[in-house]
Chains A and B, each alone.
Chain A
Amino acid sequence: MPTVYPDLASAIDETLAAAHEQSTEFKRRLRRLIENVTIGNLADDDVREVIELAVVNEAEED
């Protein structure tokens, strides 16, 4: 499991903590995606799955 340096880790923590509407699973997967991305792994399927887990405001979809 890749780890990231403290400044990036705290930026992820703070940003995801403020994303109240998002599920724990989405946050976990986005964190892992960013960790993987910083070591150069960018698989389309992983990115697509994270996108599909995002909760969007219903009003925006009207």
Chain B
Amino acid sequence: MEIRVLGWSYENIRGGLRDVSVELGSPLPRWTLIQMPNGTGKTTTMALFRAVFTGEALSPETVQDFRASDDADTGQFEVRLTIDGRLYRIQLRLDYRTGGYAYWTARSEERSGGIEEGLLLPRELGRLLTPQFARLFIFDGELAKEIRTVGRDRAAEAIKTLYRLDQLEKLNVQVDRLVEERQQAAASVSSATEMRGVNRWRNGANAAAARKEKLVAEQREYQRRQRELDRRHSKIAATIQEHIQQDATLRSRKEALDQERARIDQALFEATTQGLAVLRSAPKVHPQILARLHALGGKLTSLKLPKTISSEFFRELAEQSECVCGRQITATEKKAILDRANLYLAEDQIAVINKMKLALRESSADNSEFSTVADTLKTQLRELQRNKRDHDQLELDRIEAGDAELQELRSEAQQIEFELKEIEAAVERLTTRDPSRQRVLRADDKTNIPLCEAELKRCQEKYATVTKTRRFMLQAQLVQELVGRIADLALDRLRERVRTATNEKLKHLVPSESLQVARIGGALELESTRLAAKAGVSEGQSLAVAYAFLTSLLTEAPYQLPFIVDSPAVSLDTKVRREVGELIPGLFGQMIMFVISSEREGFADAFYDRKGVRFFTLWRETDEVTNVRDGLDFFRSFHALEAAQ
């Protein structure tokens, strides 16, 4: 599905946008650069674009914030676009007196012909264009800062939405509903005796479902509080650092400790990587494991295992008319043979076991390797503890010197750490799947989500049995399992594809540091050649990561969306700016870029000689009215005019 913006217009919108229209013209330019000095409504335009694409709800304050001036009672923002070649005109009508608003849509080829109230985009598109998702293609620098910190599920959720995997989750919800409907229909025709069982298990399942809902809500509330406390803790930590920086002696001690900490982190990262590699080879872990593996290999050989007869033999036999013993094979015998064929190993399984047997017999290892790595890890962890104590001492020294505010901050931080530990324990009790931990924590189906799910499943199965719908329920579960597996597999592949493509682009954008996305989990996790886990990146690097990720995410998606971006290069240094200027034009079918004059150098100038580009300049001649001028010459010389005003 392809969406292209043809133009837009403003009526009585703040920033002097009283009567301004931008027409991109025909043929539609692939790249449009709109130069708007600060204060002429760039941020407002981005907010209006997001609103008309998503139909988001606006508060009266937000509506009134769009007001051009006190004498304007109403306003309007209109976007003209094509969706798969069909023309659409979407209006956001604003009533500044009441703070009300309404969306209106005009569609070509619609019988009614005229304009209708509501945001009437194709259904499939309406589902995709949520306010959260729109921020990915109607993009500003703020998202670049957030993309790794806020909304930790945004990266993976964006992939799911854009590649329609969320629809598979909806399919599984629909399957649940169909099972429920079938069971309700069956229950309604049960006899009085049967009804007792039906009611018992239905009530049991309903109660378990309600408990699960309550427990999941509790978990969400804990997670929300955890995020809130994490944010406050980070803020306090930053303020504490500011206090330390105020004392020259403490500052230099801190710098030395920070350098030492970086060295310890690096050593820990290397030792952990090495340790994990050793753990993957079981014989290296302990001499006793090696001895037992050898013994197992010897036993398999002496017992002549695995048996050479395979399940394939019986599957083939079942297709014959006569057995090897001469008896005739009828449908009954065939079914019995096929059922029992599963008791034997398949040929590929036998081959795997034979390889294992050989590997077990021949395994050898230097069993001191693991203990060496473990010793290094222990030493570095002790070093880490000491470094933390020394950092602590810095704060205590500052407090002793009379910094009362720091003492309060430390005490608040400690309180938060205590609460975070309590939350962690509560979340573990709610979510652990480990039976030994469940026992220790005395968890049951009233306090633990996995145990509650197991109870729910048991009640549902019993309910299905008494309503004679068990077969349908098992079939439904099988379909859900397959659909879930397909969604997981597709998501893994998409994540890997987007990650690889992102890293390829980052090689060009940040060549000095080899910044890489290590994993797309919920958010983007970065690593670099300098640090094991990349914690601090500059604003420019964040923006480079965001561009690399977004272009990788959006360009191969089934939806071809316009990429509308505010100040695409303002926080980048000139070198990265040139790289971005060279890289991103090739990646989108349509790009609309709002820039300020300082972004011309290194970024906008990369477009001057390209074909398929249009340049507009919007500026305010007086305090009241914004003008629009089309053309490269004016765009390039605008700085002089701006400076002259």
Contacts and interface: CB of A to CB of B under 8 A. Distances in A.
B279 interface: no
Contact of B171 (A5, A16, A37, A57): A37
A52 B475 contact: yes
Given A19-B482, A38-B164, A39-B124, A44 B493 contact: no
A12 B487 CA distance: 9
A57 B556 CA distance: 40
A59 B167 CA distance: 32
A15 B489 contact: yes
Nearest to A7: B493
B469 to A, nearest CB: 11
B483 A54 contact: no
Interface string B477-519: 0110011011101100110010000000000000000000000
Nearest to A60: B474
Nearest to A26: B479
Interface in A22-61: 30, 33-34, 37-40, 42, 44, 47-48, 50-52, 54, 56-57, 60-61
Most buried by B among A5, A7, A30, A61: A7
Main secondary structure, interface of B, reads helix
A40 B486 contact: no
A61 B490 contact: no
Q: Interface SS of chain A: helix, strand, loop or mixed?
A: helix
B461 to A, nearest CB: 10
A39 B171 CA distance: 12
B170 interface: yes
B479 A34 contact: no
Given A12-B486, A54-B479, A61-B470, A37 B168 contact: yes
A51 B471 contact: no
Nearest to B124: A40
Contacts of A47: 171, 174-175, 178
B608 interface: no
A19 to B, nearest CB: 6
B115 to A, nearest CB: 25
B490 A7 contact: yes
B472 A51 contact: yes
B439 interface: no
B307 interface: no
A48 B178 contact: yes
A16 B486 CA distance: 9
Interface string B591-611: 000000000000000000000
Contacts of B171: 33-34, 37, 42, 47
A22 to B, nearest CB: 8
B127 interface: yes
Contact of B475 (A7, A12, A19, A54): A54
A34 B470 contact: no
Given A7-B490, A34-B486, A56 B174 contact: no
B612 interface: no
B497 A51 contact: no
B267 interface: no
A52 B472 CA distance: 7
B558 interface: yes
B598 to A, nearest CB: 40
A56 B486 contact: no
Interface in A2-17: 5, 7-8, 10-12, 14-16
A34 to B, nearest CB: 7
B174 A54 contact: no
A44 B174 CA distance: 8
Interface string B128-168: 00000000000000000000000000000000000111011
A51 B178 contact: yes
Given A39-B164, A47-B175, 17 more contacts: A7-B493, A7-B494, A10-B493, A11-B493, A14-B489, A15-B489, A33-B171, A34-B171, A37-B167, A40-B127, A42-B170, A44-B178, A51-B175, A51-B476, A54-B478, A54-B479, A61-B474
* Closest 9 A/B residue pairs (Cβ): A11-B489, A11-B490, A54-B475, A7-B493, A38-B164, A56-B474, A8-B490, A40-B124, A54-B478
21 contacts: A5-B163, A5-B558, A7-B494, A8-B165, A11-B493, A12-B486, A15-B482, A15-B489, A33-B171, A37-B167, A37-B171, A39-B164, A40-B123, A44-B174, A44-B178, A50-B479, A51-B472, A52-B475, A56-B471, A56-B478, A61-B470
